[in-house]
Amino acid sequence: MSKWTIDLQTVDHDDVVEKAAAWRGSGKKVAIATVVTTWGSSPRPVGSQLAVDEDGNMTGSVSGGCIESAVVHEAHRVMADGKPRLLDFGVSNEMAWEVGLACGGKVEVWVERLD
């Protein structure tokens, strides 16, 4: 059984921020990841958010699962050092076609600590 829990049902911006604020209010370190740009195929629109607490609890989504583990890893680094990060994920059209996908895509995610 994993020690982490995720609530992918919570994708509404206000719900993610509210839960993150509650975690922070209880004294936990928290980071929020926000989709800031997309191009091509992207499961979540600009503005989508994922909140992560220091125990690994998560709410929301920035990709529907495709990049969440990398974003969570960086969120823990952001919680530790306080330095925000811009993460860049993408697949070119050529690479996408090679593996049978219709098109490529790109998503940039801003990760910051909630203080």
**Helix/strand/coil percent split, the chain, to 5:** 30, 35, 40
Distance between CA 74 and CA 83 in Å, rounded? 10
Q: For the chain, what is the domain count?
A: 1
Distance between CA 31 and CA 60 in Å, rounded? 12
Residue 1: inside a domain, yes or no? no
Tens digits of per-residue pLDDT, 68-109? 999 999 999 999 999 999 999 877 767 766 766 666 678 899
Tens digits of per-residue pLDDT, 21-36? 999 999 999 999 999 9
Residue 73: inside a domain, yes or no? yes
Q: Strand order in 6-7's β-sheet?
A: 6-7, 58-60, 49-53, 30-40, 105-114, 85-91
Regarding pTM above 0.95, the answer is no
Pair of tokens at residue 30: 């928290």
Q: What is the structure's pLDDT at 100?
A: 67
Neighbouring-strand partners of residue 19? none
Which residues span the domain enclosing 71?
Answer: 6-114
